[in-house]
Amino acid sequence: MRVRDPVYVENGKRLRQLRGIRTRSGVAKEIGISYCSLAFYESGDRNPSPRVRKMIADYYGVPESFIFLPMHTA
């Protein structure tokens, strides 16, 4: 069983809350990313690159720090 990073999971939760009732496909298209990428980010399976993080934050009109928690440094 694969264990997801808790930071990714929390980021995904915030992304789903921001998307609200909008469709995943519509939001992904408007942001300029694939449906699959957005699905991975929202499920907490992956974390977007810095460039995509900025695109997502700009789309929702919020600072990146509102959506994305700081990454672990180990």
pLDDT computed for residue 11 by the predictor = 95
71 falls within a domain: no
Q: How many structural domains are present in the chain? A: 1
69 falls within a domain: no
**Are 53 and 8 in contact, with CB atoms under 8 Å apart?**
no
pLDDT at 71 over 90: no
DSSP per position, 18-64: HHTTS-HHHHHHHHTS-HHHHHHHHHTS----HHHHHHHHHHHTS-H
pLDDT computed for residue 70 by the predictor = 78
Domain span including residue 58: 6-62
39 falls within a domain: yes
40 falls within a domain: yes
CATH of the domain at 34: 1.10.260.40
73 falls within a domain: no
- Report pLDDT digits (tens) over 4-63: 788 999 999 999 999 999 999 999 999 999 999 999 999 999 999 999 999 999 999 999
Estimate the crossing angle of helix 6-19 against helix 35-43, to 10 degrees: 120
Mean pLDDT of 65-69: 91
pTM over 0.75: yes
56 falls within a domain: yes
Query: Which tokens hold the place of 61?
Result: 């009109």
32 falls within a domain: yes
